[in-house]
Amino acid sequence: MAFIDAFERTLDSKNRTQIPADFRNAMDPAVHGETFYLCPGERPNTLSLLPEKYFEELSEYLRTDLLDGEEAESYEILFYSMSRKLDMDKQGRVVLPDRQLAMVNIGKEITFAGVNKRIDIWSTEEYRAYIQDEFSANWRRLKQFARTARSKRARTPEE
C-alpha cells in the first residue's frame, strides 16, 4: 500500500477536517491499524500522518539506539512530545491540534499529500509553491527516474 495523490481541505473553526477517502480506503485495519498518528513532518513546516501500525514499527526501530547521546534525546523529545494519536470518526474526520498546527505555521487551508507510507500535511499555499518550483526544476530528472525504474522492472523476471 502506498499513499498517493494530493487533496486540498479546509479546517473548520474547531480544526476539524476529513482525511481523504482515498487514503482511508487504502488502509487495511489488520495490516495498518484503525487510525493515524500526527507527527512532525520530514520537511520543514509540515506534519505527517502515519498509520497506527507504521508508527509503532517506527517507534520500535528508533529504540535500537540509532543515534547516540544528546542527539537521540533531542530527537525523541521533539518527535514524541509533538506526536498525537488521532481519533477518527466514521466519516474520517479528525481534529488537528492547535499546538501542532502553530508549530509549523499551518492555517485553515491545508493539503494532504500522499508520500508512500505517510501522508504529509502542508499549508496549501506552501504545497502549491513547492510543487510548482520542484516540478519545474526537476522535470527532466523525474522523467529519467521513471524511465530507469520502468527499464529495471522490464528486465526483472516475473515470479
Q: Has residue 32 been placed in a domain?
A: yes
Q: Has residue 147 been placed in a domain?
A: no
Integer CA distances (angstroms), 25 to 1, 53, 84, in order: 10, 16, 21
Work out whether strand 109-115 and strand 47-51 pair parallel, antiparallel, or are unpaired: unpaired
Dihedral angle computed from the Cα positions of residues 119, 97, 79 and 91, in that order, rounded to the nearest 10 degrees: -30
Domain count, the chain: 1
Q: What is the CATH number of the domain that holds 81?
A: 3.40.1550.20
Q: Has residue 133 been placed in a domain?
A: no
Q: What is the pLDDT of residues 97-113, one digit of tens each?
A: 999 999 999 999 999 99
Q: Has residue 152 been placed in a domain?
A: no
Q: Has residue 82 been placed in a domain?
A: yes
The residue segments making up the domain with residue 67 are 6-125
Q: What is the pLDDT of residues 21-68, one digit of tens each?
A: 999 999 999 999 999 999 999 999 999 999 999 999 888 877 656 666
pTM of the predicted model, to two decimals? 0.84
Q: Has residue 134 been placed in a domain?
A: no
Q: Has residue 62 been placed in a domain?
A: yes
Q: Has residue 148 been placed in a domain?
A: no
Query: Does the pLDDT of residue 159 top 50, yes or no?
Result: no
